[in-house]
Amino acid sequence: MSSANFTSEQITKMDQIIARYPRSRSAVMPLLHYVQSIFGYVTDEGIEFIGKKLDLATAEVNAVASFYTQYKRKPVGEYHIGICTNTLCAVMGGDAIYSALKDQIGSEHDGVSADGKVSLEHIECNAACDYAPVMMVNWEFYDNQTVESAKEFVEKARTGNPPAPTRGPKKLRTWKENSEVLAGFSDGLANEGISAGKASLLGLSKMKNSGNN
Amino acid sequence: MSKLVSVLTSNWEKSDSFTISGYQRDGGYKALEKALKMKPDEVIQLVKDSGLRGRGGAGFPTGNKWGFIPQGDNKEHYLVVNADESEPGTCKDTPLLMANPHVLIEGIIIASYAIRANHAFIYIRGEIVHVVRRVQQAIEDAYKTKLLGKNILGSGFDLELTLHAGAGAYICGEETALLDSLEGFRGQPRLRPPFPAIAGLYAKPTVVNNVESIASVPAIIDNGVAWFTSMGTEKSKGFTLYSLSGHVKNPGQIEAPLGITLRELLEIAGGIRAGHKLKFWTPGGSSTPIFTDQHLDIPLDYEGVAAAGSMLGTKALQIFDETTCIVRAVLRWTEFYKHESCGKCTPCREGTWWLVQALADLEAGRGSEADLDKLLDLCDNIAGRSFCALADGAAAPIISSLKYFRAEYLQHLQNGGCPFDPVAATLFQGSLT
Ligand SMILES: Cc1cc2nc3c(=O)[nH]c(=O)nc-3n(C[C@H](O)[C@H](O)[C@H](O)COP(=O)(O)O)c2cc1C
Ligand code: SF4
């Protein structure tokens, strides 16, 4: 495996990732996110190249990659959907949403729609329980979902017009683009979107309304 | 609502609360100026005197943890902020980082100065890209305004801050697994001792603190110990974020002094959803033993919750009404622990697998009453006999639910299956039927 499969710009970015850490091995996770941003998933050549860069055996990089659920070993859709089916979201409607989307997309866990546009998995608690039931797409928040709203998302995403996240950028970015943010490269969209959703402001707005400050 | 406070949440309503200009306009980074004029040991002492306790679950006194870092040892020291927030029900650090990332960065600079660390890390869960963006931007802006980097505010103190995104593993919230993950290994807990204060990141003295713990520090420096200790209860000082979710009219975040009760919090949230009543709830996430409607007046501080047989944990109050099947709820949590068990030790790796089998049978109405005791027996062989607290968390919902709802487990056996209609528990029950 040579570096010929990576552009010099990509290799520069990998070197920038490594330079963030006192010890190079710490770069393995952001490098795996970065490989996902290039290929959409963690490829064998990506693993081998990370091993070379960090002076690790392929098996060592593989061991890390296989430990974490966000690293995919096969392609996902351009819009990767996660439905929270941990207890709270499941009870509030997550189970119903997940089964409806499974029928609609015609895929099983981690499966991809035939057109390659959308893929589906069920996910664990995503730290937004006050917005249940929660759907994540490319790891952006879609709060307070219903079966209808989730199905509508899938339909629109298939025609290339996915609705925007509820707490996120104005326009949904692709799986690969968001993977690059996770690798530590800014896309300049931090200032888009709201500061806080309604639920986040529950106590604060109650306090202001009762004039107690 | 005389009980409520707004410190961490004070600016969340403003559309630019997450920007450096918005934060500075509202008094941000003033506490840092003050702290950098103090001696590092004075900062540690002040945080000790405030009584601030860790908000990541265990409630360990923050100032004491900082004081454990050996000084004058000629080693690098590290501060690692735990922003992995993955305990089911827990959803406070995420809105905090989205609305106010600079309060964390200000706290990080102060804490690093106090423990004499020149490199700090934020280990943030990788499943929320917009929060990663906000923190990324905040760090970038702090560097641009010389609040990070060399000679911060002319104090001679240098600090590098690195943001590290996780990749989906609950166990990486456990502080030693987090350190292994940050070093580039599989996230598996380490044997303690040595504790991170002696041999943490890269085997160097390290403080690991939760986001909310560190974000509480600037206000304490700003307003003083007397202000902080005027809130809360005897051993649980100050204010905190309580997160209400589930079958309540208005779920959300409520910032209040420690010791508020669920009854008071429910009043703020508009009560249980119309026409229903409280059945069970978690005081601090799924790893804390459940409570019922008997526990509405327990003071939600570290001691009050412990005295009633549970833990304050992350103050993640997941509320379920009478439409929710306890067996379904507990089985789903158990499946989570099985999935997230890192596999390092046998009682947890194998035990959570057995627990899921046993509960799935019970949910389907298969088995006999003796299986309930077998379930408890399994829990007894897992909790306290495993390598880390994930396994204790796995046993908590089972043991506590059998304590309060044994009859409902038996009902599944008598009924030959689950007697509940899952549709009735959903938020959109009307539109599904
Ligand atoms: C399985 C498990 C998961 C944990 N997850 C988190 C987490 O997501 N965030 C957090 O701050 N602490 C978490 N903790 C607690 C940490 O180990 C540690 O106690 C905490 O980060 C210390 O910070 P504090 O003293 O400021 O609370 C977890 C512990 C266990 C056993
Ligand atoms: S108790 Fe579970 S999560 Fe913790 S070390 Fe053992 S196997 Fe891993």
The Cα of B255 is separated from the nearest Cα of chain A by a number of Å equal to 6
Ligand 2 neighbour B393 (Cβ under 6 A):
no
Helix (H, G, I), strand (E, B), or coil: what is residue B257?
strand
CB contact under 8 A, A130 and B432: no
For chain A, give every residue range classified as CATH 1.10.10.
3-67
Range A31-42 average pLDDT: 97
- Residue of B176, B185, B340, B386 best suited for mutating to test ligand 2, as the one with most atoms within 8 Å of CB: B386
pLDDT for A3: 55
E strands, B346-433, are none
Other beta carbons less than 10 A from residue A22's beta carbon: 14
CB contact under 8 A, B252 and A200: yes
Residues of A whose CB is below 8 A from B98: 167, 195-196, 200
Residues of chain B where predicted confidence (pLDDT) is lower than 70: 1-2, 430-433
HEC letters along A141-182: EECCCCHHHHHHHHHHHHCCCCCCCCECCCCCCCHHHHHHHH
For chain A, give every residue range classified as CATH 3.40.30.10.
79-182
The closest of B157, B69, B146 to B110, measured between CA atoms, is B157
Ligand 2 neighbour B115 (Cβ under 6 A):
no
Distance from the alpha carbon of residue B340 to the mean position of ligand 1, in angstroms:
15
The identity of residue B251, as a single letter, is P
Question: Across chain A, what does the average pLDDT equal?
Answer: 94
The closest of A202, A126, A123, A94 to B90, measured between CA atoms, is A126
pLDDT digits (tens, 9 = 90+) for B103-145: 999 999 999 999 999 999 999 999 999 999 999 999 999 999 9
pLDDT for A4: 60
Closest C-alpha residue for ligand 1 atom 7: B173
Nearest bound ligand to the CA of residue B351: 2
* CA pair distance B26, B22, nearest whole angstrom: 6
**Percent of chain A whose pLDDT exceeds 70:** 95
Range A27-36 average pLDDT: 98
- Residue of B69, B90, B175 best suited for mutating to test ligand 1, as the one with most atoms within 8 Å of CB: B175
Structure tokens at B191: 């044997």
pLDDT digits (tens, 9 = 90+) for B256-265: 999 999 999 9
pLDDT for A211: 60
pLDDT digits (tens, 9 = 90+) for A75-127: 999 999 999 999 999 999 999 999 999 999 876 656 788 888 999 999 999 99
Q: Which class does domain A3-67 fall in?
A: mainly alpha
Structure tokens at A171: 């326009």
The closest of B194, B117, B196 to B183, measured between CA atoms, is B196
CB contact under 8 A, A133 and B340: no
Distance from the alpha carbon of residue B334 to the mean position of ligand 2, in angstroms:
14
Count of residues in chain A: 213
Range A11-17 average pLDDT: 98
Is the peptide bond preceding residue A165 cis, with omega within 30 degrees of 0?
Answer: no
Please list, in sequence order, all residues whose beta carbon lies within 8 angstroms of the beta carbon of residue B182, skipping any fewer than 6 positions away: A26, B80, B121, B123, B164, B201
Radius of gyration of chain A (CA): 19
pLDDT for B430: 53
CB contact under 8 A, A206 and B426: no
What are the residues facing A136 on neighbouring strands?
A: A82, A141
Structure tokens at B5: 């406070």
Ligand 2 neighbour B344 (Cβ under 6 A):
yes
Superfamily of domain A79-182: Glutaredoxin (3.40.30.10)
Pairing of strands B278-282, B316-321: antiparallel
Residues of A whose CB is below 8 A from B268: 202-203, 206
CB contact under 8 A, A133 and B427: yes
